[in-house]
Amino acid sequence: MSEMQDQVIRQHCKALRMPSIGGQFRRLEETAVREKQSHVDYLEALLTAEMEERESRAIARLLQEARLPRMKTLEGFEFDRSGVSAAQLRGLAEGGYIVKAEPVLLVGEAGTGKTHLATGLCVAACRQRRRVRFTTASGLINELAEAAHANQLSRALGRWERLDLICIDELGYVLLAETACELMFQVIADRAEKAAVIVTTNLPFSEWPQVIPNPRLCKALIDRLTDQAHIITTGVDSYRFRCTTAQRKAAKP
């Protein structure tokens, strides 16, 4: 195959938006000749390379749009150092709770792995080509408050409602004003039985009135979040502290 032919093929692939084929057709041709593949086998290899690259780019875009605090996966979580069931989390990672619009609540003290597990579920959802958004409770409230101030609240709520999965991290760390609670409730109520939500909190439900002073609103929020929910307790002993201690011990000569 001449250099001119190579250039023509690459130009065609660029015009057709098939960059992977344009970049790999020569290498795959050499493989096909060496392994005595048929023309159909070669064509299949080209198309497979293009599809895999498109899948990879789509997932990378979804991960970026999810705004994850760090790229942490369930594969990187040391379940043997926590009291969390690996089987349960891996089962959730398959995505059934998203299809059924079931909430996932991670309840435990600081450092017990709540955010890591929540992030891991978000990554798994992105790999399944689902639209995901990660935020802290304060970040969500601030965004909605700014939208309300700009008379854009309905539009902002619509963006949150269209997502396949949202994760609200650190609910319960600070006292919430009633207006803030109402904004968060709108997001969660709009998703009830329609779309999935993950929430991490350091407070048992009996202590939520400490940060949500309106008892009626607090009860309504708990009712929405716990209906058909997967409630996972991560415990009180810091998983993060144990991992750090173990790493330091391993690093000693």
CATH of residue 204: 3.40.50.300
Which domain does 230 fall in, by range? 67-249
List residues bridging with 232 in a β-sheet: 106
> Do 60 and 132 sit in the same domain of this protein?
no
> Do 20 and 120 sit in the same domain of this protein?
no
> Do 82 and 20 sit in the same domain of this protein?
no
Alpha-carbon span 111 to 92, nearest angstrom:
21
Last residue of a domain, one of 20, 47, 65: 65
Question: 4-35: per-residue pLDDT in tens?
Answer: 888 898 898 899 888 988 898 899 999 999 99
> Do 127 and 208 sit in the same domain of this protein?
yes
Alpha-carbon span 58 to 244, nearest angstrom:
34
Residues in the chain: 253
> Do 101 and 84 sit in the same domain of this protein?
yes
Question: 215-252: per-residue pLDDT in tens?
Answer: 999 999 999 999 999 999 998 776 666 666 666 666 66
Q: How far is CA 100 from the centre of its chain?
A: 17
> Do 57 and 75 sit in the same domain of this protein?
no
- Residue 165's SS3 state is strand
What's at 20, amino acid-wise? Answer: S
> Do 135 and 206 sit in the same domain of this protein?
yes
**Pairing status of strand 104-108 against strand 230-235:** parallel
> Do 235 and 158 sit in the same domain of this protein?
yes
> Do 15 and 71 sit in the same domain of this protein?
no
Strands (DSSP E) found in 85-208: 104-108, 132-136, 165-171, 196-201
pLDDT in tens, the chain (253 residues): 578 888 898 898 899 888 988 898 899 999 999 999 999 998 998 999 999 999 999 999 999 999 999 999 999 999 988 889 999 999 999 999 999 999 999 999 988 999 999 999 999 999 999 999 999 999 999 999 999 999 999 999 999 999 999 999 999 888 888 899 999 999 999 999 999 999 999 999 999 999 998 999 999 999 999 999 999 999 877 666 666 666 666 666 5
**Domain tally, the chain:** 2
* pTM, 2 dp: 0.85
Last residue of a domain, one of 25, 48, 65: 65
